[in-house]
């Protein structure tokens, strides 16, 4: 059934990882005292297969935009038109992710995979249709559309890596897209529908109940195909989610580290790990969103989020907010003096008993 296969994913480099661990013990601080920053630096060294790692030359945010048939069912606080309007906002630099990326030193690319309206040519090269299907009653995509969308994500990852991107941040934009995301997570983690329903960008109790109903119905359809990741994306995902999964799988194939964002990126990551087992070793979870499905996804992927700031926007905002910390983690390994260089005494071992 599945037509698309990814080559095996390599592991980050064990030798570089060990060198980074050893280097952290020589730097002028107690070993381990920078906590998570040390772990992130060690991971980056392993990803880059060198210690110290290179600070990022071209960190890049890629936002996948798409509409969803379920948005007409009252599962979001916003109308579908907002997706296309926000694509325009990304292009003129007025969205949150543009501002956050500016501070973090990253550039932003937006890709229209299935926005319900026409968008500018620069972003619609990979568009497969206008809006994915309403997954509670129909398939999100045809077989050809699913294959095309996954391949698009893969092509985009290749293009970004070939253009020099050395750190990718994945983002999403699409009114209603936390609904298919929750369905994908529930299907792959064996969770009940009510356990994965969240408030998205901010819905009231009535919308929450409508969303729970849509997720329940879509999940019934999804479970039948949950063993086949491409089929799952086709039946219960959407063109944006399929592209994101292809993008994440290919980024790992290309040995390029990725910062994940919220629940939508997290759901695509769960599927990408099925498409390309081991891909998760190339990812860091930038932020944990309040969406319950995000927690399930991160737990299944064994990813510990760097930040927990109660953000629930998407766009890659949670990923890019963690980017400065990743830059710090790299630069610590590059720039800090060693005990020897600075002529500093190490720990007293052992201390005489005194009082």
Site string for its own copies, 294-333 (x = CB under 8 A): ------------xxxxxxxx---x---x--xx-xx--xx-
At its nearest, how many Å lie between its own copies and the CB of residue 43?
Answer: 14
**Residues 290, 257: Cα–Cα separation, whole Å:** 24
**Residues 258, 269: Cα–Cα separation, whole Å:** 10
Site for its own copies in 6-35 (CB under 8 A): 27-35
> Which of 57, 159, 194, 342: binder of its own copies (CB under 8 A)?
342
Which residue carries 């109790």 as its tokens?
205
Site string for its own copies, 255-294 (x = CB under 8 A): ----------------------------------------
Reduced to 3 states, what is the DSSP secondary structure of residue 51? coil
At its nearest, how many Å lie between its own copies and the CB of residue 348?
Answer: 5
138 is catalytic: no
102 is a site residue for its own copies (CB under 8 A) = yes
Site for its own copies in 164-223 (CB under 8 A): 201-202, 206-207, 210, 213
At its nearest, how many Å lie between its own copies and the CB of residue 68?
Answer: 14
| Closest C-alpha to 134, from 83, 224, 71, 65 | 71
Site for its own copies in 48-77 (CB under 8 A): 72-74, 76-77
**Residues 37, 329: Cα–Cα separation, whole Å:** 5
At its nearest, how many Å lie between its own copies and the CB of residue 312?
Answer: 5
Report the C-alpha dihedral over residues 190, 296, 317, 252, rounded to 10 degrees: -70
Q: Which of 19, 25, 315, 335 is catalytic?
A: 315
C-alpha distances in Å from residue 51, one per residue of 38, 149, 164, 220, 252: 13, 36, 19, 48, 20
Site stretch for its own copies (CB under 8 A), options 78-86, 123-131, 162-170, 253-261: 78-86
**Residues 231, 58: Cα–Cα separation, whole Å:** 34
Of residues 85 and 155, the one with the C-beta less far from its own copies: 85
Q: Angle 197-258-40 (CA atoms, 0-180°, nearest 5)?
A: 105
**Residues 41, 53: Cα–Cα separation, whole Å:** 8
Phi–psi pair at 294, nearest 5 degrees? -65, -40
DSSP 67-86: -BGGGGGT-SSS-THHHHHH
Q: Which residues contact 114 (CB under 8 A, 6 or more apart)?
A: 65, 66, 67, 127, 128, 129, 130, 131, 132, 149, 238, 239, 240
Phi–psi pair at 171, nearest 5 degrees? -135, 170
> Which of 88, 195, 216, 228: binder of its own copies (CB under 8 A)?
88
At its nearest, how many Å lie between its own copies and the CB of residue 289?
Answer: 9
> Which of 37, 46, 51, 222: binder of its own copies (CB under 8 A)?
37
Of residues 8 and 343, the one with the C-beta less far from its own copies: 343
Of residues 106 and 253, the one with the C-beta less far from its own copies: 106
At its nearest, how many Å lie between its own copies and the CB of residue 152?
Answer: 26
> Which of 6, 18, 25, 85: binder of its own copies (CB under 8 A)?
85
At its nearest, how many Å lie between its own copies and the CB of residue 122?
Answer: 17
Site for its own copies in 103-162 (CB under 8 A): 103-104
> Which of 58, 78, 130, 223: binder of its own copies (CB under 8 A)?
78
Edge-to-edge strands, sheet with 283-285: 107-114, 59-66, 167-173, 258-260, 283-285
**Residues 99, 261: Cα–Cα separation, whole Å:** 16
> Which of 22, 36, 118, 194: binder of its own copies (CB under 8 A)?
36
**Residues 137, 141: Cα–Cα separation, whole Å:** 12
Of residues 26 and 155, the one with the C-beta less far from its own copies: 26
> Which of 3, 11, 22, 94: binder of its own copies (CB under 8 A)?
94
Residues carrying an active site annotation: 315
């Amino acid at each position: 059934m599945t037509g698309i296969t990814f080559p095996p994913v390599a592991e980050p480099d064990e030798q570089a990882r060990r060198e980074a661990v050893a280097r952290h013990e020589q730097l002028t601080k107690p070993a381990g005292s920078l906590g998570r920053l040390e772990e992130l630096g060690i991971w980056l060294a392993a990803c880059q297969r060198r210690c110290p790692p290179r600070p990022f030359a071209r960190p890049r945010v890629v936002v996948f935009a798409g509409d969803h048939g379920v948005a007409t069912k009252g599962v979001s606080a916003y109308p579908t038109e907002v997706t296309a309007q926000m694509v325009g906002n990304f292009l003129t630099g007025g969205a949150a992710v543009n501002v956050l990326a500016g501070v973090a030193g990253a550039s932003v690319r937006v890709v229209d995979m299935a926005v319900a309206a026409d968008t500018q040519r620069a972003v619609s090269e990979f568009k497969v249709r206008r809006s994915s299907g309403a997954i509670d009653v129909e398939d999100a995509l045809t077989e050809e559309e699913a294959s095309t969308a996954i391949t698009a994500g893969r092509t985009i990852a290749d293009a970004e890596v070939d253009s020099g991107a050395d750190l990718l941040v994945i983002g999403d934009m699409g009114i209603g897209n936390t609904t298919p995301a929750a369905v994908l997570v529930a299907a792959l983690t064996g969770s009940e529908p009510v356990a994965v329903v969240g408030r998205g960008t901010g819905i009231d109790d009535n919308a929450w109940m409508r969303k729970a109903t849509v997720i329940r119905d879509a999940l019934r359809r999804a479970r039948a195909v949950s063993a086949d990741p491409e089929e799952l994306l086709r039946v219960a995902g959407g063109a944006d989610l399929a592209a994101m999964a292809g993008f994440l799988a290919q980024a790992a194939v290309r040995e390029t580290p990725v910062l994940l964002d919220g629940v939508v990126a997290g759901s695509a990551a769960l599927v990408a790990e099925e498409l390309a087992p081991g891909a998760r070793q190339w990812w860091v979870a930038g932020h944990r969103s309040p969406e319950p499905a995000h927690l399930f996804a991160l737990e299944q992927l064994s990813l510990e989020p760097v930040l927990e700031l109660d953000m629930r926007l998407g766009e890659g905002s949670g990923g890019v907010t963690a980017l400065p910390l990743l830059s710090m983690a790299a630069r610590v390994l590059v720039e800090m003096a060693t005990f020897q260089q600075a002529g500093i005494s190490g720990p007293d071992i052992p201390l005489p008993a005194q009082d």
